[in-house]
Amino acid sequence: MRPKLAHPDQRVALVAARQHAVVGLDQLYRAGLTPDAVKHRVRSGRLHRIHRGVYALGRAELTLKGRWKAATLALGDGAALSHRSAAELWGMFAPRSGSIDVTVRSRTGRARRAGIRLHRSFSLTGAVTTLRDGIAVTRPQRTLTDLRRVVAADELRDAIRAAEIAGMPIGDYAKLTERTRSELKLRFLYLVRRRRLPEPEINVRVGPYLVDFLWRSQRLVVETDGERFHRGELAAAEDRARDDQLRAFGFEILRFGRREVMQEPHAVAALVRARLEGRGIGAGAPKTRPSRP
């Protein structure tokens, strides 16, 4: 049998320890504190008001998870971290400062709070929410659905790729990154032809590896990666090992991300041309294809 805690402050401390140092007013009452006892602890600095009905225990400074927990507590039962804030909690985006996104399943009855960006949705049910680190949050697939309405297409693709790397269940969103990779290859091939670079081989094997673009005579490989800066440590290590092996075969490897291909085509083309010329080809005109018999 667990020992009974004799003092309300002990019960409050246990609740706060599970909730990133924050507690709700109803939790304080259930722990045995009276309204006057709560006011006394606020005046003495033992409790610090974060939102109406939500307090930090011991000190006012909170971790980011503490701020997220406080925001969901402030909006009551059923509220969940959502949109960009949910993506940050899941690790799809790097955390940044600003208002915290919380969704409630109601159109009325929840007042807006400073520092909280309130969203309302009748489709916010237990099927699309869960707990992560003790914080109510929309599940990854629902988080991506919410993000579609508030972020640019590039950011959404970054979030999807991060979720894929982490092995999160995201349903049909996984198909979007496949389309993105195909689109990026097409854009790079268009760049090659528009800049009158020699025609490469496409999607061919070099040893055990399938490469995006290959200039075989010049032993040059180009890989296009729409999520180059969001691949995670394991995938990046695999890329390095692959590149090292290709270099051991005598190939040079260039990698270009989506932003480089889309926004810096002059620089990309100039670098490819320089590498081709440096490896023994004049790249001023397209390579002539052999005539068919």
Mean pLDDT of the chain: 85
User: CA torsion 238→241→243→249, rounded to 10°?
Assistant: -140
SS3 129: strand
Q: Is the per-residue pLDDT at 5 higher than 60? A: no
Q: Is the per-residue pLDDT at 109 higher than 70? A: no
The predicted pLDDT at position 112 comes to 74
CATH 3.40.960.10 in the chain, residues? 178-278
Average pLDDT, stretch 76-86? 94
Instruction: Report d(CA 193, CA 12) in Å as an integer.
Output: 68
Contact indicator for 74, 56 with CB cutoff of 8 Å: no
With cut-offs at 50, 70 and 90, classify the pLDDT of residue 287: very low
The predicted pLDDT at position 37 comes to 94
According to DSSP, residue 228 is labeled G
Please indicate whether residue 233 or residue 193 has the higher confidence score (pLDDT). 193
Average pLDDT, stretch 162-189? 79
Could you tell me which CATH number the domain at 178-278 has?
3.40.960.10
Q: Is the per-residue pLDDT at 144 higher than 90? A: yes
The predicted pLDDT at position 291 comes to 32
pLDDT tens, position by position, 11-61: 999 999 999 999 999 999 999 999 999 999 999 999 999 999 999 998 888
Share of the chain above pLDDT 70, in %: 85
Average pLDDT, stretch 131-145? 96
The predicted pLDDT at position 208 comes to 86
Q: Is the per-residue pLDDT at 230 higher than 90? A: no
Closest of 287, 231, 221, 219 to residue 258, by C-alpha: 231
Flag the least confident range among 142-146, 224-228, 284-288.
284-288
pLDDT tens, position by position, 150-172: 888 778 888 888 888 788 998 87
Which residue matches tokens 């980011």?
64
Flag the least confident range among 136-150, 156-170, 173-187, 228-242.
228-242
Average pLDDT, stretch 195-209? 89
According to DSSP, residue 230 is labeled G
Q: Is the per-residue pLDDT at 293 higher than 50? A: no
Average pLDDT, stretch 114-122? 91
The predicted pLDDT at position 179 comes to 66
